[in-house]
Amino acid sequence: PIVKSMEVIEKPNVTYSDIGGLEEQIRELREVIELPLKKPELFRELGIEPPKGVLLYGPPGTGKTLLAKAVARESNATFIHVVASEFAQKFVGEGARIVREVFEMAKRKAPSIIFIDEIDAIGAKRLDIGTSGEREIQRTLMQLLAELDGFNPLDNVKIIAATNRIDILDPALLRPGRFDRIIEVPLPDFKGRIEIFNIYLKKMKTSEDINLELIAQLTEGFSGADIKNVCTEAGYIAIRSNRNKIMMEDLIEAIEKIKNKKKRMESNLE
């Protein structure tokens, strides 16, 4: 790997049906990433340019990585996962070199999707670039912009970036020809929460008494990641009670537990 946290997956094991809610986001990604990768001639004939880069933004744990993996799989593209903070290196010029190498690899392994998580780590707007560390980050960002500008919208490499902090991004990233398609990935609504519970509970052994609507009501404000945690926690509670099935009471107890954990985390951030 070019950097230690880098992950290259030839065929991710996530499909659209593993994602609860987010129908609109999936539809849009299919249109602007999957279709151009699979049928570039369609776009060439019509004379329209798909975006080179798409930015996903929203709270943590809402399925941004999951979406990017699923689009890669369904586009038969190699999935290249990098965390932008890894681009910020100690030595001068190293961040830019890593960016260059990631793009070279993506071209070699095309069709491919580069997923850049936490893009704000290098893409936040900076008011002053006084220190050498800040200058280095700035150079890395310039290299990323140059790479984006350097390829064609119909090349078989696409970039998906993700952030929880769209408000602090440098507008240079969002200019036409760069990350010019912005897709919000919000917390799931009631229906989305039912779907996500369904996805995880259907893999588990559950009792008849489970009321999905009630648990979806009790989990307002939960992310997909929180819901997955609730299901796992309910499984542990069932095991501790020597049962081989998850019951409604286990889920309710697990919801309380995750709710308290979320509250503690929020108060730590304050």
Q: Which stretch binds ligand ATP (CB under 6 A): 57-65, 125-133, 175-183, 245-253?
A: 57-65
- Interaction residues for ligand ATP, span 86-105 (CB under 6 A): none
Instruction: Name the token pair of 44.
Output: 């060439």
Judged by CB under 6 A, does residue 60 bind ligand ATP? yes
Judged by CB under 6 A, does residue 199 bind ligand ATP? yes
Comparing CB distances to ligand ATP, the nearer of 44 and 264 is: 264
CB 170 within 8 A of CB 141: yes
Comparing CB distances to ligand ATP, the nearer of 103 and 222 is: 222
- Interaction residues for ligand ATP, span 228-247 (CB under 6 A): 228
Instruction: Name the token pair of 120.
Output: 């704000």
Judged by CB under 6 A, does residue 64 bind ligand ATP? yes
Residue closest to ligand ATP (Cβ): 224
Question: How far apart are the C-alpha atoms of 134 and 122, rounded to whole Å?
Answer: 9
- By CB under 6 A, name the one of 164, 187, 257, 259 that touches ligand ATP: 164
Judged by CB under 6 A, does residue 82 bind ligand ATP? no
Judged by CB under 6 A, does residue 196 bind ligand ATP? yes
174 a known binding residue?
no
66 a known binding residue?
yes
Comparing CB distances to ligand ATP, the nearer of 138 and 164 is: 164
232 a known binding residue?
no
String marking each residue 22-41 x if it binds ligand ATP according to CB under 6 A: x-------------------
Judged by CB under 6 A, does residue 62 bind ligand ATP? yes
Question: Where do we find the tokens 């299901």?
Answer: 231
Judged by CB under 6 A, does residue 123 bind ligand ATP? no
Q: What are phi and psi of 5, to 5 degrees?
A: -85, 5
Min CB(21)–ligand ATP separation in Å:
5
Q: What are phi and psi of 46, to 5 degrees?
A: -75, -20
Min CB(93)–ligand ATP separation in Å:
28
Min CB(153)–ligand ATP separation in Å:
25
Q: Which residues bind ligand ATP (CB under 6 A)?
A: 19-22, 60-66, 117, 162, 164, 196, 199, 224-225, 228
Q: Which segments are annotated as binding site?
A: 61-66, 200
Q: Which segments are annotated as binding site for ATP?
A: 61-66, 200
